[in-house]
Chain A
Amino acid sequence: MPNGKWSAARLGASRALTIPGMVLFGSFFGFGAFTRAAGLDAGQSLFVTITVFALPGQVVLVDQIAGNAGLLAAAVAVTLTAIRLMPMTVAIMPVLRGPRTPLWWQVALSHFVAVTVWIEAMRRLPDFDRELRIPYYLGIAMTLWPICMSATLAGYYIAGGVPVPVSAALLMLTPLYFLLSMMTAARERVDWLAIVAGFCLGPVFYTYAPGLDLLWTGLAGGTLAYLLGRLKRGSGEAA
């Protein structure tokens, strides 16, 4: 366990430099390549990664730009992909903040709530002393953010020379990493139930309710998992 704020931040940074950093580099490399094909310049492409910092929304935004969509249409499409960040932020903030963390600071910290940072932070934060949690989180975020920026630029400038199977493999990195890291982070039965329920319901809702599918998947799958987990907990305590 780290014994100070800097050592907690360093620990976060060193964990971010392993698998999450490699996976994000690969994913954002693919994104950089995509922005070039879509007609953005390098500065615009980098600006998207800095200000949005959530890959699905970035891909949708650039796809809208490529299709000459209007500002309102693009904003609506992007915002639909970002709704998922709201429950994730609600879940992480009570774990992350201390009793005196000011609101503006929590708002600033929330910019880094994206799946990778969220997963990496959520799996270890509960083990940390409360005053070391924000430094650990920032250690992860301040490492992954620049990695994503460099990868965007690298993908932008190197793009075009990558064969389709390699590009497919880069796109496969994200779901594989998300899936395995959620399994690694699972602590209780309810976590496993939520993973299985979400995985099975995701394609169903995408087919029948595209647009808000992730929100419905989360609400239906998560509530089901929560109730089943609670049932088990209840019977376990009674026995």
Chain B
Amino acid sequence: MTAFGSGWWPYLFILVAGFAATDFWRFLGVFLSARIDEASEILRWVRAVSTALVAGLVARLIVFPVGDLAAASDVARLGAVAIGLAVYFTVRRSMLAGILAGEVALLAIVWLAPG
């Protein structure tokens, strides 16, 4: 027994507030894409909009963190991104090197300068 209860109700709750609330937009996207051609100008614009949207999500996750990431200071989070980017561009645009460097930088700053 947990706080959310047991039986079928929690699953129905997740189906409505999780699955339906999310996949409604995916399905709508399928219908709206029906008349759009791969080479069209409108698709170039839609792609730019979705790229900017994901970049905005990235910035939000870093600038306004949730959960335990909020325990890391602004300096630690922004420093980690800056170092990750620097290493990424230095090491022939290697994602792995950039991510590892960013993670190491975050942990180092958190441990060396807590708070």
A and B bind: yes
Report yes or no: A41 in contact with B6, Cβ–Cβ below 8 A.
Answer: yes
Report yes or no: B59 in contact with A202, Cβ–Cβ below 8 A.
Answer: yes
State the total of A-B contacts with C-beta under 8 angstroms.
310
- A65 vs B30: C-alpha distance in the bound complex, in angstroms? 29
Indicate with 1 or 0, residue by residue over A84-117, a CB within 8 angstroms of chain B CB atoms.
Answer: 1111111101110000000100110011010100
Report yes or no: A172 in contact with B30, Cβ–Cβ below 8 A.
Answer: no
Report yes or no: B50 in contact with A183, Cβ–Cβ below 8 A.
Answer: no
B residues 16-57 touching A (CB-CB < 8 Å): 16-30, 32-34, 36-38, 40, 43-57
* Segment among A2-10, A52-60, A145-153 that sits at the interface with chain B: A52-60
Report yes or no: A71 in contact with B36, Cβ–Cβ below 8 A.
Answer: no
Q: What's the dominant secondary structure at chain B's contact region?
A: helix
Report yes or no: B14 in contact with A217, Cβ–Cβ below 8 A.
Answer: no
- Size band of the A side of the interface? 35 or more
CB distance from A59 to the nearest CB of B (A): 7
Report yes or no: B80 in contact with A86, Cβ–Cβ below 8 A.
Answer: no
Indicate with 1 or 0, residue by residue over B44-88, a CB within 8 angstroms of chain A CB atoms.
Answer: 111111111111111111111111110110000100110011001
List the A residue with the shortest CB-CB distance to B109: A165
B residues 82-103 touching A (CB-CB < 8 Å): 84-85, 88, 93, 95-96, 98-99, 102-103
- A122 vs B22: C-alpha distance in the bound complex, in angstroms? 21
- A106 vs B25: C-alpha distance in the bound complex, in angstroms? 13
Which of B6, B19, B47, B60 is in CB contact (< 8 Å) with A206?
A: B60
A195-B55, A222-B50 are known contacts; what are 17 more A-B pairs with Cβ within 8 Å?
A57-B18, A86-B28, A88-B50, A89-B33, A167-B68, A169-B107, A171-B65, A172-B69, A172-B80, A178-B57, A179-B85, A180-B84, A180-B99, A196-B55, A202-B57, A202-B63, A225-B51
